[in-house]
Amino acid sequence: MARTVLQQADIARALTRISHEILESNRGAADLVILGIPTRGSVLAERIGAIVAGIEPGAVPAEMVGSLDITMYRDDLARHPTRTPSPTQVPRQGIDGKTVVLVDDVLFSGRTIRAALDALNDLGRPRAVRLAVLVDRGHRELPIRADFVGKNLPTSREERINVRLESIDGAEEVSIEEVPGA
């Protein structure tokens, strides 16, 4: 049975706070690129870009938001070979010399972010890379830490975090559920 821990209003507040923290850390939106990791990370990146544009005069989401496909950089392709690659879409000014904020829905082992850093390396040389996640659940296997976190949700390995977003899932919530035998 799943237990809802964040509802639509909670997610909206977390994304607004993350957006403000990104702007404060970067001292504005200049030279900022926000790249979401498909699927839900891309949706969250678009939302953060829209919030940033609403806060920062002159910021245009289309000029700073994109998505970064990491499929071929994952270290679990042998176990999960059925992943469908998504297109990587980088704003036309590229990432060289920019502050890139990677956005994902859940930070768990850190392996997805390691793959994203490898993919990013093939695109160019950013000035700095930051990480924004809606949920940090712990259990890191790699030395990776998020710079901007919507909610820290300590979990056991027998639990799963489910992020549901309206545009993909028809609902907006974050829930935790027990996974027997995980």
Question: Partners of 43 in the beta sheet?
Answer: none
Q: Does residue 30 sit within a domain?
A: yes
- Please tell me the predicted confidence (pLDDT) of residue 79: 73
Domain hosting 33: range is 2-73+89-178
Question: How many angstroms separate the CA atoms of 131 and 88, rounded?
Answer: 17
- Please tell me the predicted confidence (pLDDT) of residue 81: 61
Q: Which residues of the chain have pLDDT under 50?
A: none
- Please tell me the predicted confidence (pLDDT) of residue 55: 96
- Please tell me the predicted confidence (pLDDT) of residue 182: 61
H/E run at residue 16: helix 8-26
Q: How many domains does one find in the chain? A: 1
Q: Does residue 65 sit within a domain?
A: yes
Q: Looking at this protein, which amino acid is placed at residue 131?
A: L
Q: For residue 173, what is the domain's CATH number?
A: 3.40.50.2020
- Please tell me the predicted confidence (pLDDT) of residue 75: 80
pLDDT digits (tens, 9 = 90+) for 40-77: 999 999 999 999 999 998 899 899 999 999 998 988 76
Residues contacting 77, CB < 8 A, separation 6+: 71, 83
Q: Does residue 138 sit within a domain?
A: yes
Q: Is 3 exposed, middle or buried (0-12, 13-18, 19+ CB in 10 A)?
A: exposed
- Please tell me the predicted confidence (pLDDT) of residue 95: 97
Listed residue (39, 44, 42) closest to 6, CA to CA: 44
- Please tell me the predicted confidence (pLDDT) of residue 74: 83
Q: Which residue has the tokens 């042998």?
A: 78
- Please tell me the predicted confidence (pLDDT) of residue 85: 82
- Please tell me the predicted confidence (pLDDT) of residue 34: 98
Question: How many angstroms separate the CA atoms of 58 and 5, rounded?
Answer: 35
Average pLDDT, the chain: 94
Q: Does residue 79 sit within a domain?
A: no
Q: Does residue 80 sit within a domain?
A: no
